[in-house]
Chains A and B, each alone.
Chain A
């Protein structure tokens, strides 16, 4: 079993530092997980966390707009940031020559963003984000499926009920004062995990973290607001959409336990047997029989309250969505009743092992997982334990978790119907 070396320290201002030395290539992945995401937005200010993330690239007291990415790329780095429900991450993988530069720029924007952000950068990035929303969600067949699944899974006003990208109306309404308030409330050293993975020693990593981040003020951290766990759906809530899609499609969604609950890893193995690849139950029952053009299932891990499980299938030309849903649920029910075979269970574990090792083979993805582990699971060592944990899940664990969380009657259903072109 692979165990990555791991060293941790907390600076006096509360910033947590994780160093994972790996000297195989002269590259260091720098990753910052900020403990704030779209679930922390007010219901009338959706999209603010992500819009704010864009403004983090528009310059700070000593960095010109666009230079964060520009200087990193010219130094040989790959850079970006993403916003999700429970966190915002910023990351760059750079040659060892550029580690100081990146830490300095990251610290500069955490310390001095408000010196630079102004109405014109807000207005520009508001348009960019609206284009992102159009490109990724609004102008794509089934592009709003995930948003509709969230709205079915969580009640109105629930922190996970709205999409991270937000609404056009809220994006239009965001003010400079909103941005400033968001920064002051959430962007502080005590809410950051800084991870360095790659060609750096623990001493060097801690020294650099202290040098660049050590002078940031000590401000209180926070206890993550509690979100209650919702019980499984009852009565099969439904949403039926007419849309410009090439084929009708069926999605089913379940409320699952939150990240860190032992059942969630068992459910990950269950959805793998059900919907991962051409050996899966759904592929065999729906695609090989030419009821569906594609079928799959997965779990989406969320930190508080509930995660989400999803099954999906796109109708084969001429197949009605009702017939497809019925076949999907028959297959699902058989699995819930009988559980996986021993061979299926072990295959799902072997496939998980490869996927997990592949992910950790890349320094940038590994660093991101350490940030996730420290932020959501309390310790970066979760990364080293996870494969062991999943391989220890028994077939009986899967059967028990499946019956508790994935009963067909506890699903919600989203159907897309093809709107014929006028």
Chain B
């Protein structure tokens, strides 16, 4: 007979974040090597210490154009021959920018890594950034802006940094630049930006995978050892918050409203970080979070609602997001704000234990693959943190109490967060705001 008694959990398996071999090349480049048996696709990422605050104000978006044009040809492999040669090894290369850093990554089967690695270095160190490739990528970025403006969920997400941070800071604006700033630079500027800012000092190279029979340090040394520092200094901004406000962006045809509720928060160096992370998880980090239980499972207002945190080098922000059918969207905002009033209903010990268990016990799974390990390591490196942070953080999370989580959240999360709604203009009354047309991005 099937048992009606639920099995108890077994003993939690011992686990720690894989230890990295750490090396520093003479030019200042830090290399972390994660040797992961059974991971036959090597994942390598270079995090350049290149925050977007390094962009000239009038030319925002230039770092993004550099990153997207890197694989269109290098000085030694011009034009399409670069990617063709690279892809012949089975490799794929990618690059992008965050507010903190530029990331260039390569995934390649173990069998192709020796051939692919010098090409990966070429893309970072000596990209051609040819005129027509740069101009095409500027055109593609313009097209991307149009796509974002046409997509309600993407538009809502794109408006969050500007709702959270003062416009005196780069972090308040789109990573890829705006239609206006894209007009302000050309291919010469793009090449000059790359030459000045792509530098080994402060950069971290993370390599992860099964290195049986390979010497990853020798690979890194031969690819990047003679790369020289450009002398550029890096400044990481500490953005101030914006005055919170409500906005309704009008979408007359929308069958749903995309909602974001957001506020400035803290970074991982803040002693309240573990407690705040737990608080956000209780509210919107899991299926049985307060927000999802009420708005999805009880009321059927949405396919899902979440609360997430984004950390910067200094500070960060927290966001509640979801899509709701028009006739319940205003009520969803009211209800979400009520659920975010933690002072009115402090966290319980049971809630906090479940969230801590979720955050700590999912680690073996999240970091079971080369790409999982390298992506997390690169995020930490970009914040100036060490890979040991994951284990230290697990220890701190385990000690968070219900009172800690309640105190951290009520201190950090404001009573009047920014509210962004992209949806039917008829929501104006319910939200108490005027509907605006879609802003130019």
| Contacts from A to B (Cβ < 8 Å) | 2, 22, 24-27, 61-63, 65-66, 69-70, 73-79, 93-101, 104-105, 107-108, 111-112, 123-132, 134-136, 138-141, 199, 212, 215-216, 244-247, 277-279, 284, 287-288, 290, 293, 314, 316-317, 343, 346-347, 350-351, 353-354, 357-358, 361-364, 422
Contact = CB atoms under 8 A, between A and B. Distances in A.
Given A95-B13, A277-B92, A293 B143 contact: yes
Interface of B: 1-15, 36-41, 71-72, 80, 83-84, 87-92, 107-109, 112, 136, 139-140, 142-143, 146-147, 149-153, 252-256, 258, 286-288, 293, 296-298, 300-303, 323-325, 354, 357-358, 360-365, 368-371
A358 B41 contact: yes
Contacts of A79: 287
A331 B341 CA distance: 58
A66 B88 contact: no
Nearest to B86: A279
A247 B148 CA distance: 12
A185 B254 CA distance: 38
Nearest to A358: B41
Given A132-B303, A141-B147, A246-B147, A351 B256 contact: no
A406 B139 CA distance: 32
Nearest to B136: A290
B303 A131 contact: yes
A354 B371 CA distance: 13
A131 B41 contact: no
B4 to A, nearest CB: 5
Contacts of A287: 136, 140
B323 A97 contact: no
B88 A343 contact: yes
Residue with the greatest number of chain A CB neighbours at <10 A, chosen from B9, B15, B80 = B9
Contacts of A358: 41, 107, 371
Nearest to A129: B303
A317 B323 CA distance: 29
B2 A97 contact: no
A245 B365 contact: no
A62 B4 contact: yes
Nearest to B5: A62
A351 B40 contact: no
A347 B87 contact: yes
B303 A128 contact: yes
15 contacts: A73-B358, A75-B357, A76-B358, A95-B15, A104-B3, A105-B6, A128-B300, A131-B300, A139-B258, A141-B147, A215-B1, A279-B84, A357-B41, A361-B370, A422-B252
Contacts of A353: 90, 109
A135 B256 contact: yes
A290 B1 CA distance: 66
A268 to B, nearest CB: 16
A288 B92 contact: no
B6 A77 contact: no
A350 B112 contact: yes
Nearest to A364: B365
B80 A362 contact: no
Contacts of B89: 350
A105 B4 CA distance: 10
A70 B6 contact: no
A277 B364 contact: no
A66 B146 contact: no
Contacts of B325: 130-131, 134
Contacts of B92: 277, 351, 354
A245 B151 CA distance: 9
B84 A347 contact: yes
Nearest to A63: B6
Contacts of B146: 246-247, 317
B302 A128 contact: yes
A155 to B, nearest CB: 29
Contacts of A78: 362, 365
A354 B147 contact: no
A2 B300 contact: no
Contact of A354 (B41, B80, B252, B256): B41
A354 to B, nearest CB: 4
Contact of A361 (B80, B287, B369): B369
B365 A27 contact: yes
B149 A246 contact: yes
Contacts of A69: 286-288
B2 A107 contact: yes
B361 A101 contact: no
Contacts of A70: 286-288, 354
B14 to A, nearest CB: 8
Contact of B254 (A25, A75, A139): A139
B2, B15, B258 pick with most chain A CB within 10 angstroms: B2
Contacts of A125: 300
Contacts of A124: 297-298, 300
B40 A357 contact: yes
Which 3 pairs of residues, A with B, have the shortest CB-CB distance?
A76-B361, A127-B300, A26-B13
A97 B11 contact: yes
B149 A139 contact: no
Contacts of B88: 343, 346-347, 350
Contacts of A357: 40-41, 109
Given A69-B288, A96-B10, A135-B323, A288 B362 contact: no
Contact of B357 (A61, A74, A104, A278): A74
A255 B368 CA distance: 38
B286 A215 contact: no
Contacts of A363: 368
Contacts of A290: 136, 139
Contacts of A62: 4-6
Nearest to B133: A288
Nearest to B71: A278
Given A70-B288, A76-B364, A139-B256, A277 B83 contact: yes
A347 B91 CA distance: 10
Contacts of A61: 4
Nearest to A140: B151
Given A131-B325, A138-B255, A246 B297 contact: no
B19 to A, nearest CB: 14
Given A277-B92, A290-B136, A27 B364 contact: yes
Nearest to B90: A350
Contact of B2 (A138, A199, A215, A351): A215
